[in-house]
Amino acid sequence: MKIRDFITGLFIMLFVGLMLTSCRKEEYCHCGEVRSYYIQDGQYLLVVKNECTSNYDTFSVSRSVWMSKFEGDIYCSLTNGEW
């Protein structure tokens, strides 16, 4: 009975190991860190550094979004995709 328990445990460990190594972390390349924010010509703007590409982009956002974001916060642009 001990050998059977050992083999069963071994198969469980192998299965769990395969499951953990087969999973890939999805990267959401439409998100980044807010680096600065300002108002220009009546537009509320966020300057964001992309987490994947390290590129910077400026986004025009609503006043409520602008008021809730600070330097270091994460901002995701669902309309622009990757940048």
- For 7, 30, 31, 53, 67, the CA distances from 34, given in Å and listed in that order, are 52, 13, 10, 14, 12
| C-beta of residue 30 within 8 angstroms of C-beta of residue 57 | no
Instruction: Report domain extents, the chain.
Output: 31-76
- Answer whether residue 13 shows pLDDT above 70: yes
- Answer whether residue 60 shows pLDDT above 60: yes
The predicted model scores a pTM of 0.65
Angle among Cα 37, 40, 41 to the nearest 5 degrees reads 155
- Answer whether residue 69 shows pLDDT above 70: yes
- Answer whether residue 3 shows pLDDT above 60: yes
